[in-house]
């Protein structure tokens, strides 16, 4: 095969639902990918990730190339075998994490030279090396092109130059990737907040011909409204028949609004990170189990979510665990949050299938506003 | 019922195997009780504790009375319901933890006044209050009398005075406990390393008439040989027909040698604590997964132990998780260690049943010496 078959079962407005059929299993879209940075979705067993409803994980090239090392993962049978996850895995290119290493990195046309945050060792990430790590060594089902994440805010000229570099890196990534039987490669649209740059980026990527298209350069501080605006001017330029992936986003409301704008795939550390900080997510927004109001609250986190972490433990017990700094508090909250995110995706898929996504979205926004006191 | 029925199915030398039948389920003896200090066996889900083979847990009165508070646990339905463990629970009296608070406690005939290590608040633990917390508020299936843990080393006169105080506190504990349908109370033998004091303590407790008898004042730095010596002069004075519990012990080899001396029950934080520090236990002693030698070791921790944590993950993967400071490393190692301890108990029970405990013990000691380079 070239591109994984992507069967769009229903379209409702801009929103779509379908199945991306990889050789390691089907991905039901819109899909949320829990983040397994260091070859583990933090504080969850792999079985629990699956049980929570995830079809696909994300792995971080930057972290894995430094520890345990991509060659070592290869010798140990590849990332799937290493971490005992037999479903599909998408890896990022490492570009975003390296870009975040302000002061420790040096960009050039060739790629990014950087120092490890773990031991200070020197490394070079090029489009070719990133593909080698992702596709050959880790064995990702979906690899991402190396790109430069444009900062926010960014002047138009700088945004254009950055976006053009990402286009050239995209071509080199594609060249290095070649044709593979059971692996795919996605390109990444950049262009900051400038509609014409986003369009130019999308058109150039389509010419390079990727298996799927990501929207990059968001979730970097631009805010909710700007994110929606960028999606409004970007997704219309992406091919209908290929999956669209919004990188690093976000809160539940962000997911709902991005699905409304035609996005099919997401990843975010939020459910696991906030779980480790005592926070649980819901349609009414986040709530912190540390708060005294939960000390004797016998209700579960959310009995509508089909997950032991959501259903079986009282808020009072989780409050106690969080206050006492117990592992189990982080474990239960992380598992619940992943399950809640996956449940939200399932509800969106059902709403799109049944042609009632607008109603679902309106009801969700009402609950969100009721719970948070804010529209978004 | 008064005392829980204790059916001794087989005796082999001093070692015994049987079943202690509580109203919340059977405890197969010799039994190892994982420690659930703060209403959680650290880094394990309750289902995993059960799946590891544990029939009974230990809860710590001291920790629970301070956080979340014993009255609060009562309002929330008792400790079993609060932490979702429907099997039996034994609670300690709080005496040992309070005794460990050097400088923050004051002993008197009445009890122990102390300050919380969490918030400095003042508390008083008496035999009566300890029973109220354990039996009435937490709802323990087996409560322990309040005792004074005699330090090691200790002069004979001081050890005698301390042991006598524990006898008086034992009587007051029994008086406060009264007769209960579905709950039991154990006494605690003290007397330091002095055989006649241990005998005197045992005889006085038997006169008070407890449902089971614990050996206290060990696991306080006296060492392996001294522990064995104290057991040699203590268990012969305990009634054959009641369970015997060695408190706070220990390493696998300690359990084997204590079973050889007629002990039926154990608790220890070792499997979970060392799991959080990268350590796995085996018949060959402990080994630390942080060590570079495991970086590419694809074998599991122990495929003979019927637990996913023991069988399903490579040492190389766990090595990586421990090095990266990931939750899952502590989770897998803690679960494996509890399962290994429970598996060791099951192997001892089978050996006693089949009249081959001496051979089992000799083989175990040989493996231990081979692995550790030491006899014990």
- Contact between chains at B326 and A45 (C-beta distance less than 8 A): no
Cβ contacts of B175 within 8 Å, gap of 6 or more: none
Answer whether B298 touches A (CB < 8 Å): yes
A47: helix, strand or coil: helix
* Buried residues in B88-101 as b, exposed as e (16+ CB within 10 A): bbbbbbbbbbbbee
Give yes or no for a contact between A18 and A7, defined as CB atoms under 8 angstroms apart. yes
Question: What is the pTM for the complete model shown?
Answer: 0.98
B364: helix, strand or coil: helix
Give yes or no for a contact between B43 and B330, defined as CB atoms under 8 angstroms apart. yes
Check whether A87 has a pLDDT greater than 60. yes
Nearest CA to CA, how far is A149 from chain B (Å)? Answer: 26
Nearest CA to CA, how far is A338 from chain B (Å)? Answer: 16
pLDDT of residue A376: 87
Return the number of CB contacts < 8 Å for A and B: 100
Instruction: Tell which residue, A148, A269, A270, A130, has the closest CA to residue A217.
Output: A148
Of B40, B312, B317, the CB nearest to A321: B40
Average pLDDT of the segment spanning A207-222: 95
Alpha-carbon distance values, B101 to B123, B144, B247 (Å): 13, 19, 18
Which of B12, B55, B92, B211 is the catalytic position?
B92
Cβ contacts of A327 within 8 Å, gap of 6 or more: A43, B40, B42, B43, B327, B330, B331
- Chain B CB contacts of A319 below 8 Å: 68
Give the Cα separation of A333 and A326 in Å (integer). Answer: 12
Instruction: Tell which residue, A131, A182, A135, has the closest CA to residue A21.
Output: A182
pLDDT of residue B145: 98
Answer whether B43 touches A (CB < 8 Å): yes
Q: How confident is the model at residue A101 (pLDDT cuts 50, 70, 90)?
A: confident
Instruction: Tell which residue, B170, B204, B199, B200, has the closest CA to residue B187.
Output: B170
Give the Cα separation of B373 and B376 in Å (integer). Answer: 9
- Contact between chains at B38 and A331 (C-beta distance less than 8 A): no
Alpha-carbon distance values, A150 to A69, A88, A121, A157 (Å): 27, 28, 25, 11
Which of A92, A211, A264, A343 is the catalytic position?
A92
A342: helix, strand or coil: helix
Of B72, B298, B330, the CB nearest to A327: B330
Cβ contacts of A209 within 8 Å, gap of 6 or more: A174
- Chain A CB contacts of B42 below 8 Å: 326-328
- Chain B CB contacts of A290 below 8 Å: none
| Count of Cβ atoms closer than 10 Å to residue A360 Cβ | 20
Which of A12, A254, A267, A283 is the catalytic position?
A267
Give the chain B residue nearest A276 (alpha carbons). Answer: B327
- Chain B CB contacts of A324 below 8 Å: 38, 67
Give the Cα separation of B323 and B369 in Å (integer). Answer: 28
Give the Cα separation of B90 and B232 in Å (integer). Answer: 25
Give yes or no for a contact between B280 and B337, defined as CB atoms under 8 angstroms apart. yes
pLDDT of residue A195: 98
The annotated binding site of B is made up of: 92-96, 147, 190, 217
Answer whether B318 touches A (CB < 8 Å): no
Of A43, A319, A324, the CB nearest to B38: A324
Cβ contacts of B210 within 8 Å, gap of 6 or more: B145, B170, B174, B185, B186, B187, B242
**H/E stretch holding B321:** helix B315-323
Q: Respond yes or no: is residue A157 known to be catalytic.
A: no
- Contact between chains at A331 and B84 (C-beta distance less than 8 A): no
Of A296, A312, A320, the CB nearest to B84: A312
pLDDT of residue B336: 98
Instruction: Please tell me whether the interface predicted TM-score (ipTM) of this complex is above 0.95.
Output: yes
Q: Please write the tens of the pLDDT for every residue from A274-299.
A: 999 999 999 999 999 999 999 999 99
Give the Cα separation of A175 and A257 in Å (integer). Answer: 34
Give the Cα separation of A226 and B173 in Å (integer). Answer: 68
The annotated binding site of A is made up of: 92-96, 147, 190, 217
Strands of the sheet with A15-22, listed across from one edge: A6-12, A15-22, A25-29
Q: How many residues does chain A have?
A: 376
Give the Cα separation of B352 and B262 in Å (integer). Answer: 11
Answer whether A82 touches B (CB < 8 Å): yes
Nearest CA to CA, how far is B227 from chain A (Å)? Answer: 32
- Chain A CB contacts of B316 below 8 Å: 68, 76, 82
Answer whether A40 touches B (CB < 8 Å): yes
Q: How confident is the model at residue A104 (pLDDT cuts 50, 70, 90)?
A: confident
The annotated binding site of A for substrate is made up of: 92-96, 147, 190, 217
| Count of Cβ atoms closer than 10 Å to residue B355 Cβ | 12
Check whether A1 has a pLDDT greater than 80. no
DSSP B314: B
Give yes or no for a contact between A301 and B63, defined as CB atoms under 8 angstroms apart. no
Nearest CA to CA, how far is B42 from chain A (Å)? Answer: 6
Reading chain B (376 residues) residue by residue, the pLDDT tens digits are: 589 999 999 999 999 999 999 999 999 999 999 999 999 999 999 999 999 999 999 999 999 999 999 999 999 999 999 999 999 999 999 999 998 888 889 999 999 999 998 999 999 999 999 999 999 999 999 999 999 999 999 999 999 999 999 999 999 999 999 999 999 999 999 999 999 999 999 999 999 999 999 999 999 999 999 999 999 999 999 999 999 999 999 999 999 999 999 999 999 999 999 999 999 999 999 999 999 999 999 999 999 999 999 999 999 999 999 999 999 999 999 999 999 999 999 999 999 999 999 999 999 999 999 999 998 8
Nearest CA to CA, how far is A327 from chain B (Å)? Answer: 5
- Chain B CB contacts of A83 below 8 Å: 317
Nearest CA to CA, how far is B223 from chain A (Å)? Answer: 31
Mutation to test the B interface, candidates A47, A49, A76, most B Cβ within 10 Å: A76
Give the Cα separation of A343 and B318 in Å (integer). Answer: 30
Give yes or no for a contact between B333 and B39, defined as CB atoms under 8 angstroms apart. no
- Chain A CB contacts of B79 below 8 Å: none
* Radius of gyration for chain A, computed over Cα atoms and rounded to the nearest angstrom: 20
Check whether A253 has a pLDDT greater than 60. yes
pLDDT of residue B2: 87
Interface of A with B in 257-296 (CB under 8 A): 295-296
Q: Please write the tens of the pLDDT for every residue from A315-339.
A: 999 999 999 999 999 999 999 999 9
Give the Cα separation of B22 and B6 in Å (integer). Answer: 9
B126: helix, strand or coil: coil
Give, to the nearest 10 degrees, the angle between helix B252-259 and helix B327-353.
20
Answer whether A86 touches B (CB < 8 Å): no
Q: Respond yes or no: is residue B267 known to be catalytic.
A: yes
pLDDT of residue A2: 87
A265: helix, strand or coil: strand
Answer whether B72 touches A (CB < 8 Å): yes
């Amino acid at each position: 095969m070239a591109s994984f078959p992507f069967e769009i079962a229903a379209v409702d407005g801009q929103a779509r639902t379908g199945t991306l059929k990889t050789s390691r299993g089907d991905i039901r879209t819109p899909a949320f990918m829990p983040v397994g940075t260091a070859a583990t979705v933090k504080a969850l067993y792999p079985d629990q990730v699956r049980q929570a409803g995830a079809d696909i994980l994300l792995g971080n090239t930057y972290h894995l190339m430094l520890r345990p090392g991509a060659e070592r993962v290869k010798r140990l049978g590849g990332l799937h075998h290493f971490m005992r996850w037999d479903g599909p895995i998408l890896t990022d290119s490492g570009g975003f994490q390296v870009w975040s290493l302000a002061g420790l990195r040096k960009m050039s046309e060739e790629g990014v030279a950087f120092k490890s945050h773990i031991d200070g060792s020197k490394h070079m990430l090029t489009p070719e090396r990133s593909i080698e790590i992702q596709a050959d060594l880790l064995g990702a089902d979906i690899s991402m092109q190396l790109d430069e994440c444009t900062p926010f805010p960014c002047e138009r000229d700088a945004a254009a130059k950055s976006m053009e570099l990402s286009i050239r890196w995209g071509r080199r990534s594609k060249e290095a990737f070649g044709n593979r039987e059971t692996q795919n490669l996605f390109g990444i649209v950049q262009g900051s907040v400038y509609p014409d740059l986003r369009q130019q980026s999308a058109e150039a990527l389509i010419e390079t011909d990727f298996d799927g298209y990501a929207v990059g350069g968001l979730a970097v501080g631009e805010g909710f409204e700007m994110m929606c605006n960028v999606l409004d001017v970007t997704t219309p330029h992406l091919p209908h028949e290929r999956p669209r992936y919004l990188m690093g986003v976000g809160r539940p409301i962000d997911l709902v609004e991005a699905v409304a704008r035609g996005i099919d795939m997401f990843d975010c550390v939020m459910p696991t990170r906030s779980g480790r900080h005592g926070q649980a997510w819901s349609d009414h927004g986040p709530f912190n189990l540390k708060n005294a109001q939960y000390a004797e609250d016998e209700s579960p986190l959310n009995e509508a979510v089909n997950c032991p972490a959501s259903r079986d433990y009282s808020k009072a017990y989780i409050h106690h665990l969080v206050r006492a700094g117990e592992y189990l508090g982080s474990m239960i909250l992380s598992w619940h949050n992943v399950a809640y995110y996956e449940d939200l995706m399932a509800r969106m898929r059902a709403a799109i299938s049944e042609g009632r996504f607008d109603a679902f979205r309106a009801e969700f926004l009402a609950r969100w506003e009721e719970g948070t006191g804010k529209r978004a």
